[in-house]
Amino acid sequence: MMTANPFAVDIKDLTYAYKNGPKVLDIAAIQIAASEHVFLHGPSGSGKTTLLGLLAGILVPQGGSVRVLGQDLATLRSAQRDRFRSSHLGYIFQIFNLIPYLNVLENITLPCHLSPERKMRLGGVTPDVAALDLCRQLNIANLLDRPVTELSVGQQQRVAAARALIGAPEFIIADEPTSALDSNRRQEFIELLFAAADQAKATILFVSHDHSLAPLFTRNLSLLDLNRASRSGEVDA
């Protein structure tokens, strides 16, 4: 059961190691408030991807707890975690993050077809109408019928953002979504993402190597500082 919690993310005494490997994560605490825009950075091998896997409910911690939107994900069964992810989380990938055989509209509306809860949150409008509304905000309304393979990288990133935002998920995880964009486009993309997320009152956890983006966020987190495993040199992946 989800419980009332002022934090979108509440991590305590988290430890995680891959099978037969050293500890990848050893984090005392991370808390992210609802509607916060948080920038998480860290070098390769600092455990960013593993942390995102734990926040998305793909991985289960061996120690401590990971609460997302008040829900302790470790207490859920695999299928329940899948449902939780599809209903409450939006995920933006680094690059090539769209289903290549679906067009723009089909890619964006896909989460609504996979999650009845997310579809219900559209407030009576159809997924297509909601997608069009998001596309207008992200300046890609003229691309709805286009195959995603014909879009520029920047356009693809916006489609990925629209897909993550549709159905108003409370928590958006963006895993280095701007790494393929030039600096002007990066800022423009982040501003568009913030505007759309604010409208949905969503929390954003933005992961990147690019420190120049940090000032745009309400808070910065350094995984190198937070993760005791990476500090002690235990991380090898």
Partner 1 sequence: MKIALRLAWRSLLNRRLASILTILSVALSVALLIGVERVRQSARSSFTNTISQTDLIVGARGGGVPLLLYTVFHMGNATNNISFATYEKISSDPNVAWTIPLSMGDSHRGFRVVGTNADFYAHYHYRRNQQPRFGAGVEPKAMFDVAVGSAVAAKLGYRIGDHLTLSHGVGEVSFHSHDDKPFSVTGILEPTGTPIDRSVFITLQGLEAIHADWEDGAPPLPEHAIKSADLQQRSLPVRELSAVLVGAKSRADSLGLQRQWSEFKGEPLSAIIPGLALDDLWEAISYAENGLRVVASFVVVVGLLGLLVSIYNSLNERRREMAILRSVGAGPGLIFALMIIEAVLLTVLGAAIGVATMYSLLFGFRPVIESHFGLYLPISPLSSAEQWYLCAIVGLSFILGAIPAWRAYRNTLSDGLTIRL
Q: Residues 180-196, buried b or exposed e (16+ Cβ, 10 A)?
A: bbeeeebeebbebbbeb
Among 175, 192, 203, 204, binds partner 1 (CB under 8 A): 175
231 three-state secondary structure? helix
Q: Is 163 in the site for partner 1 (CB under 8 A)?
A: yes
> Interface with partner 1 by CB under 8 A: which range of 29-37, 47-55, 181-189, 212-220?
47-55
Q: Is 96 in the site for partner 1 (CB under 8 A)?
A: yes
Other CB atoms within 10 Å distance of the CB of residue 19? 4
Provide the β-strand partners of residue 204: 37, 172
> Interface with partner 1 by CB under 8 A: which range of 61-69, 99-107, 126-134, 211-219?
99-107
State the minimum distance, in angstroms, from the CB of residue 109 to partner 1.
10
Q: Of the candidates 44, 42, 43, 53, which has an alpha carbon nearest to the alpha carbon of residue 222?
A: 42
104 three-state secondary structure? helix
Residues 52-71 that bind partner 1 (CB under 8 A): 52-53, 56, 58-59
State the minimum distance, in angstroms, from the CB of residue 58 to partner 1.
4
With vertex at residue 54, the alpha carbon angle to CA 51 and CA 55, rounded to the nearest 5 degrees, is 85
In the complex, the residues that contact partner 1 under the rule CB under 8 A are 49, 52-53, 56, 58-59, 78-79, 82-83, 85-87, 91, 93, 96-102, 106, 110-111, 113-115, 118, 163, 175
